[in-house]
Amino acid sequence: MSLHLPVISIALLLLASFVMPLLRRGARAAALPFTLSVLGAVFTVSLYLIYLVESRGAFSYHVGGWPPPWGVELYIDHLAVYMMMVLSSICLVVMVYGARDLYHEIRAEVMSWYYTLYLLLLASMIGIALTNDLFTLFVFLEISTISACGIISIKKDRECIEASFKYLILSVLGSGCVLLGVAMIYMITGYLNYDFVAQELPQAIAEYPYNILMALSLFIVGFSVKSALFPLHIWLPDAHSSAPSPSSAVLSGLVIKIYAAAILRLLFRVFPAELFEVVPVLDILLFLSVLAVMAGSIFAMVQEDIKRMLAYSSIAQIGFVFMGIGLFGNRALLGGLVHIFNHALMKSMLFLAAGLIIYAAGIRNIRDLRGIGVRMPLTMGAFAIGAFSMVGIPGTNGFISKWHLALGALDLGRPFFVAIILLSSLLNGIYYLPIVINAFFGVKIEPRSEHRDVPGMMLVPVLILAAGVIFFGFYPGPILALLEQAIVL
Amino acid sequence: MKDIVIRTVCRVIVPFVQVYGLYVIFHGHLSPGGGFAGGAILGSSMVLFALSFHLEAGAQKLGHETSSYLESGGGIWYILIGLLGLALGSNFLTNRAAGLGFGLPGQLFSGGMIFLLSLGIGVKVASTMFTLFYNLSEEEGSGGDHQ
Amino acid sequence: MEVNPYVAVGILLLMAYVFFYLPAGYIRHVLIVLLVFIIGYALVMTVSEMPTFGAVDTPAHNVVPERYLGRAPEETGAVNVVTAIITDYRAFDTLGEVVVLFVAIVAALSNLKAR
Amino acid sequence: MPLLDFFLLSFLIVSAVAVARTRDLLSAVIIFAAYSLVMAIIWQMLGAPDVAITEAALGAGVTTFLFLATISKTQRLE
């Protein structure tokens, strides 16, 4: 029975999202507890799956009972359960926050639609993490694209519609690229399953070199658009800053990462290693990631809106994940992967804290944040922890991932990237620390009349995430142990 | 579109289109077609009806409430059939290996799960088409008269 | 097919600049035409190399369609092989397609109702 | 029959360019419906009747309705 759990959790999420629009009138109040309990169940399942995979190793699941080249296969290995744990835990915590915050950003009538889209987004991301089949990957990619646009555009705001339209167009173009790549791979290998494609590709290189090259570049462009790697990040600042705060937290923390994890799987499990000697894909990703880290930090420095600044900072941080992939060393990859979890924790916490500030004080501009630490000490304390973690101060989890990335770069004899990491930390310090310092020690400005109290239900998730940032800064052991097995490919 | 010619032609044509849509759904496992194609035909017949008469006339035949029940119902039906395979001691969405297969190949009632899944997909697609069209074109009281 | 990483990154950066940032005008037109020709050349090269449509020895003619075409009626009970594939062999993908329809309508309705 | 193939494929290219170039959205939608219909014929000739039925119903039918409904709520000219 326990081997069925991965597919059951996807089916449960889909079933819950189908049931959600049926909750009408009296049952509408049940929507939130229902959503939370489903998310909690999926989180529990993901923890159990980690235990299962640790104890009995990776296993595959044949949907419909058909063996791989004919049917759809889910492959549950260490990386998959790690991603599933990250996705479900952050989604659960963010939803607890969103339960209160959403009511002041979107209308009550569309709340159940929001829960539906949210559950579908989580289901599709888990599907992307678990699947072992190229076409299933594409199908879940579509679901995640549309639902991610949905949770942005649901806000009654002209700016939001515009941003989500831009996101939709670019993201669908990315999906189209991925579909074309899948078609090409199918044409030259005759399989869709990752393992079988990987088996066939080495022979196909000699016969169809341009097809493989084109498929690879289409995958890279498609997934880079979706995960906002540097020159294709154009949609991200608008979309992530105008969305409701819980959506921003999920989008910035999880949605752009899952595509990075997907391309990691494709690069290391599907495409043969000989290909990378001929085509320097990893070098290309590495250059782009360096540009992303620098450009994201520099753009973030000149922003005035706090959520916009956080969005630009996400562009820099996704660069670290891609840097880990591009360096192609065990340790660097470990750093990049652990950064997925660490950045998900701290960035969603920062977005939620920013949402709390907007909720309570109605401030979006960074300069107006002066002295707000006195009024909202817990929120700004959490924000400060997140900022320290972004900079990479030891004792926070941001340090752990940067430390491993830097060590991995040194292992490979490429100290240039250590310099980039240090420089980026410095830039992060330049734009994050003044906010914290001004908030606590700046000249106090008169509080505006619309100041609202912070509800405990919104504050607690932020504090939980802040505690997570500290906890995994001191005890990264379990996560690192899990990932060390995940990168033995 | 208050044209008597269009209304009369549509009144004659719509039942045939619907029967054809149902045929494509039910014969999905025997001849070309299936849930998606048949559902699209069924949905476009309803759109045609609503266009040629009045939006309210279409809404009377298939209300908002019913349409959304059908929509969720199609998906729930699909997943429940998948879970049925699980309950019978096999994998998710298993058909014959779980003992769902019945009938001889070539007969209408054969293929076990395939027939049921096509039905669910057809209902889902048809109601999706109609709901999308209805929600896009309602409002402003223009009814079916625009264009 | 040696690929220079600097050239590849340069082309990508140029594309992003031209498509996203360059203001409309004569230069933008010329550059877009140039880029479209580069992409088109690459795609034509790709297509010219593909196996012939319908040829017997294409890689896609392997054990997968063999079993689909030969054993689908007895294994699934459906005479129409296409339906057997989409609702039995790969029913999970079809579940995904149904969900795509559902998510499309939910996103559209939430948008229309939220105004 | 290569001549029919040639004719249909060139029709596809011409109508695709026309959809992109025309400024009147209503005509673009109608041309797009014609495109879908020809596409359905090509699917049938390639030996994919399932896809042909779906393309005819979705491409020529439902998409056109949805585009028309959208145009009626916005503007006809670009």
Q: B64 vs chain A: nearest CA distance in angstroms? A: 12
Q: How far is CA B3 from CA A152, A192, A247, B60, in A?
A: 42, 52, 48, 20
Q: How many Cβ atoms sit within 10 Å of the Cβ of residue B51? A: 22
Picking from A367-371, A420-424, B24-28, which range would have the lowest pLDDT averaged per residue? A367-371
- How far is Cα A333 from Cα A282, in angstroms, rounded to an integer? 12
8 Å CB contact of D50 and B34: yes
Stretch among A7-21, B12-26, C76-90 having the lowest mean pLDDT: C76-90
Q: C114 vs A154: CB contact, 8 Å cut-off?
A: yes
Contacts made by residues A439-442, CB under 8 angstroms, sequence distance 24+: A439/A369, A439/A370, A439/A371, A439/A372, A439/A373, A439/A380, A439/A383, A439/A384, A440/A373, A440/A374, A440/A380, A440/A384, A441/A373, A442/A370, A442/A371
All residues of chain D having their beta carbon less than 8 Å from the beta carbon of residue C83 are 50
Query: Which residue(s) pair with A75 in the sheet?
Result: A60
Q: Is A131 helix (H, G, I), strand (E, B) or coil?
A: strand
Question: Using a CB-CB distance cutoff of 8 angstroms, which residues of chain D are in contact with residue C80?
Answer: 50
- Above 50 in pLDDT, residue A20? yes
Q: N- to C-terminal Cα distance for chain A?
A: 27
**Are A147 and C92 in contact (CB < 8 Å)?**
no
Q: What is the mean pLDDT of residues A432-450?
A: 75
- Closest chain C residue to B79 measured between Cα atoms? C95
Quickly state the pLDDT bin for A90 (edges 50, 70, 90).
Answer: very high
pLDDT of residue A447: 59
In this prediction the ipTM stands at 0.91
Cβ separation of B51 and D65 shorter than 8 Å? yes
Q: Which residues of A158-179 are buried (b: 16+ CB within 10 A; e: fewer)?
A: eebbebbbbbbebbeebbebbb
* String of DSSP letters for C18-59: IIIISPSSHHHHHHHHHHHHHHHHHHHHHHHHSPPTT-TT-T
Q: Round to whole Å and give the CA distance between A128 and A262.
A: 7
Q: Find the closest chain B residue to A62 by CA distance.
A: B91
Give the number of A-C residue pairs with CB atoms closer than 8 Å.
158
Q: Coil, strand, or helix at residue A106?
A: coil
Task: Name the β-bridge partners of A72.
Answer: A63
Is B127 in the D-facing interface, judged by CB distances under 8 Å?
A: no
Query: pLDDT of C11-53, one tens digit each?
Result: 888 888 888 888 888 888 888 888 889 889 988 988 888 888 7
Tell me if A167 sits within 8 A of A239, measured CB to CB: yes
* Number of Cβ pairs < 8 A linking chain A and chain B: 45
Tokens 């959790």 correspond to what residue? Answer: A9
Beta-carbon-side half-sphere exposure of residue B89 (alpha carbons within 13 Å): 2
Query: Which among B24, B32, B133 is the nearest to D69, CB-wise?
Result: B133
DSSP state of A59: E
Set of chain B residues whose Cβ sits within 8 Å of the Cβ of A18: 72, 75-76, 79
> Do B79 and A15 count as a contact with CB atoms less than 8 A apart?
yes
The amino acid occupying position C65 is P
Which amino acid is residue A256, in one-letter code?
I
Supply the pLDDT for residue C68.
87
Q: Which residue of C has its CA nearest to B131?
A: C105
The predicted pLDDT at position A14 comes to 93
Mean pLDDT, residues A389-418 taken together: 89
Name, in order, each residue with C-beta under 8 angstroms of B10's C-beta and a sequence gap of 6 or more. B48, B49, B52, B53
CB proximity under 8 Å: D 1-60 to B: 49-50, 52-54, 57-58
The chains in contact with chain B, meaning 3 or more Cβ pairs closer than 8 Å, are: A, C, D
pLDDT band at A489 (very low <50, low <70, confident <90, very high): low
Report, as an integer, the average pLDDT of A53-65. 88
Q: Which residue of B has its CA nearest to D69?
A: B137
- Chains touching chain C through at least 3 C-beta pairs below 8 angstroms are A, B, D
**Cα separation, A150 vs A168, whole angstroms:** 9
Q: What is the pLDDT of residue A180?
A: 93
Taking contacts as CB-CB distances below 8 angstroms, the residues of chain B near D62 are 40, 43-44, 47, 129, 133
What is the C-alpha separation between C33 and C10, in angstroms, rounded? 17
Short-list A467, A468, A454, A464, CA closest to A100: A454
Q: Where are the domains of chain B?
A: 4-141
Burial A58-81 (b: 16+ CB within 10 A, else e): eebbbbbbbebbbbbbbbbbbbbb
In angstroms, what separates the C-alpha of C105 from chain A's closest C-alpha?
Answer: 10
* D26's tokens: 């209503």
Chain C residue nearest residue D48, CA to CA? C82
Contacts of A133 in chain C (CB under 8 A): 93
Give the per-residue pLDDT at B141. 43
Chains touching D (at least 3 CB pairs under 8 A) are: B, C
C76 interfaces chain B, CB cutoff of 8 Å: yes
**Is B85 touching A (CB cutoff 8 A)?**
yes
Angle between helices C91-113 and B64-87 in degrees, nearest 10: 150
Subunit partners of chain A (3 or more CB pairs within 8 A): B, C
Those of residues 57-96 in A touching chain B at CB distance below 8 A are: 61-65
Question: Helices A456-474 and A78-101, interaxial angle, to 10°?
Answer: 150
pLDDT, tens digit (0-9, with 9 covering 90-100), for A93-116: 999 998 888 887 787 778 888 899
How many angstroms separate the CA of residue C77 from the nearest CA in chain B?
4
What pLDDT score was predicted for residue C18?
84
For the stretch A446-464, pLDDT in tens is: 655 566 777 888 889 999 9
Q: Do D65 and B34 touch (CB under 8 A)?
A: no
Q: Do chains A and C touch (3 or more CB pairs under 8 A)?
A: yes
Ranges of residues in chain D whose predicted pLDDT is under 70: 1, 78
| One-character DSSP codes across B58-127 | HHHHS-HHHHHHHHHHHHHHHHHHHHHHHHTTS-TT--TTTT---S-TTSSS-STHHHHHHHHHHHHHHH
Report whether pLDDT(A417) > 70: yes
Nearest one of C49, C86, C80, C81 to C67, comparing CA atoms:
C81
Instruction: Copy the structure tokens of residue A143.
Output: 């679901």
Torsion sign, CA atoms A88, A90, A93, A96: negative
Name every chain C residue with its beta carbon within 8 A of the beta carbon of D55: none
Residues of A in contact with C109 (CB under 8 A): 113
Assigned token pair, C7: 């050239």
> Mean pLDDT lowest for which of B98-102, C43-47, C52-56?
B98-102
Residues of chain C contacting B133 with CB distance shorter than 8 Å: none
Say whether A154 and C58 touch across the interface (CB within 8 A).
no
Q: Is B20 on the interface with D (CB under 8 A)?
A: no
> What is the pLDDT, as a whole number, of residue B143?
40
Nearest to C59 by CA among D29, A201, A422, A150: A201
Residue B133, min C-alpha distance to chain D (Å): 6
Burial of A407 per CB tally in 10 Å (0-12, 13-18, 19+): middle
Convert the pLDDT of each residue in B36-95 to its tens digit.
Answer: 889 999 988 888 888 888 777 777 777 778 888 888 899 999 999 888 888 888 888 888
pLDDT tens digits along A232-272:
888 998 888 888 889 999 999 899 999 999 999 898 888 88
Confidence of residue B146 (pLDDT cuts 50, 70, 90): very low
Residue A100 has a CB neighbour count (10 Å cut-off) of 18
B residues 41-100 lying closer than 8 A (beta carbon) to C: 71-72, 74-75, 78-79, 82, 92-93, 95-96
Per-residue pLDDT of C72-110, as tens digits, reads 888 887 888 888 888 888 889 999 999 999 999 888 888
Domain assignments of chain A as residue spans, ordered by start: 281-489
C-beta separation of D68 from D29 below 8 A:
yes
For the stretch A185-204, pLDDT in tens is 998 888 999 999 998 888 88
The pLDDT assigned to A176 comes to 94
**How close C44 gets to chain B, by Cα (Å)?**
33
pLDDT score, position B142: 40
* pLDDT value for B145: 38
How far is the C-alpha of B48 from the C-alpha of B59, rounded, in Å?
A: 12
Residues of B in contact with A14 (CB under 8 A): 75, 79
Q: How far is A215 from chain B (nearest CA, A)?
A: 29
Averaged pLDDT of chain B: 82
> What is the pLDDT at residue B144?
39
Token output for A56: 């009995």
> Which candidate from A64, A213, A280 shows the least CB-CB separation from C5?
A280
Cβ within 8 Å, pair A187-C3: no
pLDDT tens by residue, A345-378: 999 999 999 988 888 887 788 888 787 777 888 8
pLDDT for C51: 82
Is a pLDDT exceeding 70 seen at residue B112? yes
- Using a pLDDT cut of 70, give the percent of chain A over it: 98
Q: How confident is the model at residue A24 (pLDDT cuts 50, 70, 90)?
A: confident
